[in-house]
Amino acid sequence: MEIGIVLFFVFFSLLLYVVLGGADFGAGVLELFSSDKNKEISRGVVYRVIGPVWEANHIWLIILLVVLWIGFPIYFNVVSIYLHIPMTLILVGITIRGVAFVIRHYDAIQDESQTIYNRLFRLGSLITPIFIGMTFAALIYGKIPLLEEQTEPLDFYETYVAPWFNLFGLFTGFFYASICAFLAATFLIGETDGEVRAVYANKANKALIAAFVFGGAVLSIGLINGNEFILTTIKSPVAIVFFTLSFILLFPLYKAIKNQKVILTRTLAVGQIMFILFAAMYPAFPELVMTNKGSVSILTDIAPPSVIRYLAIALIVGSILILPALFHLLKAFNLIKIFKK
């Protein structure tokens, strides 16, 4: 029971980080791929829309991290040792873009240094989701060598670099970056109108196509390499149902974007991400790290029941405190469109 609650929060915070943090990264990606005129417009919109929730969007990552280390220490241990480098790169990205985002609005003097802040924000916003994608890819790529399992000595590159630095990872990174851009564009459709809205609708579609292409590449590479995780996933009926669902959703989504429907596009987009995430995680669960000799279960030697119980209670109490406040924040700044007449 308690472990179910904790696992729910792992999935919940992962989903929210992928969606909210993703939209946040995507805003920068969109800015990067905009004409100069649109860059200025984007900048203004992004500030108005993301400013109030910027920090909250990123706390989901911390919640996820803390829940993993408290509840699933063995799993967390493997991830922190073998994915040290890409996680460090994610941190550098988060640091640079976060700081650049805030100071470009809080620098008291607006001058040419804005160009530097803008560049850092945009580039950081692109690079960070790519590294996040690479980290996820490494978990399922099946190249992580658990040192205690190896019969032959491996060098630094094979142990700490090769598991994440490969084509599969790179395309997963591009895939996630496109998803981010897509989420941001979908979100911004509802925050703008007229000509600008049409621009975002156009961008949402382009990002969707990019995500489709990169996603296809990831799948192909996985199949060619005979990736265990991908094979398990495509053989799982549940995964197939959810992937199909998310594929079918593409059609109403495409239409909703074209017709610039605000609430519908958001709902469909989030639904789609949720389906993909669930379909990807469900079949292999709980084996959520593929190693070169097998896999590591997230449920290996989880924290004792006393800890899991407190963690579950803390998560529920925390949600009761925070979610209404967060909801109110979104409402106060008119970010939930359902409340707008």
CB of 170 to another protein, least distance (A): 22
CB of 105 to another protein, least distance (A): 8
Biggest CA pair distance of the chain: 66
- Site pattern 275..314 for another protein (x: CB under 8 A): ----------------------------xx-xx--xx--x
Per CB under 8 A, does 52 bind another protein?
yes
Tell me whether the omega of the peptide bond preceding residue 286 falls within 30 degrees of 0, making it cis: yes
CB of 322 to another protein, least distance (A): 5
Nearer to another protein by Cβ, of 49 and 284: the residue is: 49
Per CB under 8 A, does 63 bind another protein?
yes
Nearer to another protein by Cβ, of 16 and 269: the residue is: 16
Per CB under 8 A, does 325 bind another protein?
yes
Using CB under 8 A, which of the segments 95-103, 132-140, 215-223, 265-273 binds another protein?
95-103
- Structure-block tokens of residue 337: 């469109």
Nearer to another protein by Cβ, of 198 and 329: the residue is: 329
Using CB under 8 A, which of the segments 54-62, 169-177, 216-224, 236-244 binds another protein?
54-62
Element (H, E) at 296: strand 295-297
Nearer to another protein by Cβ, of 57 and 265: the residue is: 57
- In the numeric block, the tokens 């008291």 are attached to 108
Selection from 84, 52, 51, 70 nearest residue 13 by Cα: 70
User: What DSSP designation does 148 have?
Assistant: G
Contact residue for another protein among 3, 73, 219, 260 (CB under 8 A): 73
Residues 266/187, Cβ–Cβ less than 8 Å:
yes
Per CB under 8 A, does 164 bind another protein?
no
Using CB under 8 A, which of the segments 99-107, 170-178, 191-199, 221-229 binds another protein?
99-107
How far is 189 from 141, CA to CA, in rounded Å?
35
Nearer to another protein by Cβ, of 256 and 311: the residue is: 311
Per CB under 8 A, does 88 bind another protein?
yes
Residues 173/125, Cβ–Cβ less than 8 Å:
no
Per CB under 8 A, does 338 bind another protein?
no
Per CB under 8 A, does 258 bind another protein?
no
How far is 325 from 311, CA to CA, in rounded Å?
21
- The C-alpha angle with vertex 63 and arms to 2 and 286, in degrees rounded to 5, equals 50
Using CB under 8 A, which of the segments 55-63, 216-224, 246-254, 270-278 binds another protein?
55-63
Per CB under 8 A, does 336 bind another protein?
no
Q: Give the Å distances, CA to CA, from 95 to 41, 84, 99, 176.
A: 24, 16, 6, 19
Residues 146/296, Cβ–Cβ less than 8 Å:
yes
**How deeply is 245 buried, as exposed, middle or buried, from its count of CB atoms within 10 A (0-12, 13-18, 19+)?**
middle
- The C-alpha angle with vertex 63 and arms to 60 and 65, in degrees rounded to 5, equals 110
Beta bridge partners of 144: 291
Per CB under 8 A, does 87 bind another protein?
yes
**How deeply is 63 buried, as exposed, middle or buried, from its count of CB atoms within 10 A (0-12, 13-18, 19+)?**
buried
Q: Could you list the residues that contact another protein (CB under 8 A)?
A: 51-56, 58-59, 61-63, 65-67, 69-71, 73-74, 76-77, 79-81, 84, 87-88, 91-92, 94-96, 98-99, 101-103, 106-109, 147, 156, 159-160, 303-304, 306-307, 310-311, 314-315, 317-318, 321-322, 325-326, 329, 332-333
